[in-house]
Amino acid sequence: QSVLTQPPSASGTPGQKVTISCSGSSSNIESNTVSWYQQFPGTAPKLLIYNIDKRPSGVPDRFSGSKSATSASLGISGLQSEDEADYYCATWDDTLNGPVFGGGTKLTVL
Amino acid sequence: QVQLQESGPGLVKPSGTLSLTCTVSGGSTSPYSWHWMRQPPGKGLESIGYIYYTGTTTYNPSLKSRVTISVDKSKNQLSLKLTSVTAADSAVYYCARVGATGYFFYLDVWGKGTTVTVSS
């Protein structure tokens, strides 16, 4: 059971905008920043978003992040077939004094 | 560009010890903190533990009694040891660089991962 809660699946059609949610608590998301990771089958996760809404060099601006209270969201606009992957959120937990992760969301592009 | 490569036995016997190495190339282990993660087949990511640049370690409470993470600066390598393994420890194991810890936590560089199966 993951500390952060994500929907197991999400879907959208090409060109659409999809949003993936990540729910936590006052000891983690509300108190700290959030990062997001993209993982294709058989490959390692890749940093997609950090510090809530910052994109590493090379990540398209179609990807965006936001946070409100105990929840965070990853937005993907102009959905493309190549965006089909698993997405994970992560943050620090002040009570556990360590990082916590979501269970992952499988994004399907219809 | 920093690259990480995990290595170690792909098969470990039950009750044995899992030992993995992560070699850092294109950069140094200092002054960074490092993380070990794992992903059981078809499941999500699980934090195993991490080692700060100071040498201090913190482990997942569920694995704490069995885990040791260390850094060999002279070899530019990290290591992971997990004792008394069972089939539940079968997973892809990743090492990752901590881009920032605490409030700003994120992992900015990941190894490709190595698959470990626990079986007799």
**Percent of chain A surpassing pLDDT 70:** 100
Taking Cα atoms as reference points, which of A45, A59, A5 lies closest to residue A29? A5
**pLDDT, tens only, B86-107:** 999 999 999 999 988 888 899 9
- Whether the per-residue pLDDT at B34 is higher than 90: the answer is yes
Neighbours of B69 (CB within 10 A): 21
pLDDT value for A101: 95
pLDDT band at B71 (very low <50, low <70, confident <90, very high): very high
Coil vs helix vs strand at A107: strand
Q: Phi first, then psi: give them for residue B48, nearest 5 degrees.
A: -95, -45
Please give, rounded to a whole number of angstroms, the shortest distance from the CA of B108 to a CA of chain A: 6
Tell me the two tokens of residue B74: 């002279």
DSSP string, B59-98: E-TTTGGGEEEEEETTTTEEEEEE-S--GGG-EEEEEEEE
Please give, rounded to a whole number of angstroms, the shortest distance from the CA of B114 to a CA of chain A: 10
For testing contact with chain B, the best of A5, A9, A35, A105 (most B CBs within 10 A): A35
